[in-house]
């Protein structure tokens, strides 16, 4: 399995460098950083032959940069992190092993760090760029796994700095978009997708590029984060899930 580590950054270069160093120390994979047109950079990113930085000349937002990274990366497998993650080799090995077991997506601190094959995007599409600001993009991704019967491993095992988000608080605009896309009927235990992603055509980007995978079904999911378990299994806590704090 060949991975690339990637995450977007805005302004918090020193914090990002601490995260990058933990990845450098924990694995041999290349690292792609996408700088979201930072307003006040506080230094330079770590210099390493394994670290590549793309500087955007405009602010793209979290979801757009996740998608940008998927299109830039040459490896089949990707681990998406953030500047608040402090990873260890144990975390990397866990992601590798769980993917080998057949999980379609493996997240070891919510969607603060998660890995998958880009082949998965041919099943559920890329990240929905209808989420222009912050909030609910993570729930949307997990919902797409759920309705397509694709397994999720999600926990809070990786060290994570609870320092707030650099993308701004969860935004009403994203919440409104989410409610226009999903109907959550937990009386009848149903989540229904009402419309396609705004960038739905991206689902064809990697068609035929990677060997088709056989994934475990949703019933094999390991939902080790309480709020995720409540949302999908106990049908409560829906509106507070994750709170957009990635």
**pLDDT tens per residue, range 196-206:** 999 999 999 99
pLDDT at 57 over 90: no
Beta-carbon count within 10 A of 129 CB: 17
Q: How far apart are the first and last CA of the chain?
A: 26
Report pLDDT for 165. Answer: 64
| CA 219/CA 178 separation, integer angstroms | 24
DSSP letter assigned to residue 13 = H
- Has this prediction a pTM greater than 0.85? yes
pLDDT tens by residue, 93-133: 999 999 999 999 999 999 999 999 999 999 999 999 999 88
| CA 101/CA 82 separation, integer angstroms | 25
- pLDDT confidence bin for 32, thresholds 50/70/90: very high
CA-only gyration radius of the chain, Å: 17
pLDDT at 140 over 70: yes
Report pLDDT for 245. Answer: 34
């Amino acid at each position: 399995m060949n991975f690339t580590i990637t995450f977007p950054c805005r302004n918090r270069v020193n914090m990002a460098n601490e995260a990058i160093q933990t990845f450098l120390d924990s694995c041999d994979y290349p690292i792609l950083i996408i700088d979201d047109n930072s307003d006040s950079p506080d230094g330079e990113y770590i210099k390493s032959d394994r670290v590549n930085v793309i500087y955007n000349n405009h602010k793209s937002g979290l979801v757009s940069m996740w998608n940008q990274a998927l299109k830039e990366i040459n490896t089949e497998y990707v681990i998406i992190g953030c500047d608040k993650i402090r990873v260890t080799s144990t975390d990397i090995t866990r992601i590798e092993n769980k993917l080998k077991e057949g999980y379609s997506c493996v997240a070891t601190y919510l969607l603060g760090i998660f890995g998958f094959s880009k082949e998965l995007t041919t099943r559920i599409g890329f990240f929905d760029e209808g989420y222009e600001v912050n909030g609910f993009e993570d729930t949307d991704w997990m919902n797409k796994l759920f309705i397509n019967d694709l397994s999720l491993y999600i926990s809070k095992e990786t060290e994570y700095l609870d320092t707030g988000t650099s993308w701004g608080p969860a935004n009403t605009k994203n919440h409104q978009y989410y409610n226009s896309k999903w109907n959550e009927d937990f009386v009848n235990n149903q989540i229904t997708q009402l419309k396609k992603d705004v960038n739905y055509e991206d689902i064809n980007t990697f068609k035929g590029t990677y060997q088709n995978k056989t994934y475990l079904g949703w019933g094999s999911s390991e939902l080790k984060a309480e709020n995720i378990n409540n949302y999908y299994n106990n049908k409560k806590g829906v509106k507070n899930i994750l709170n957009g704090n990635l």
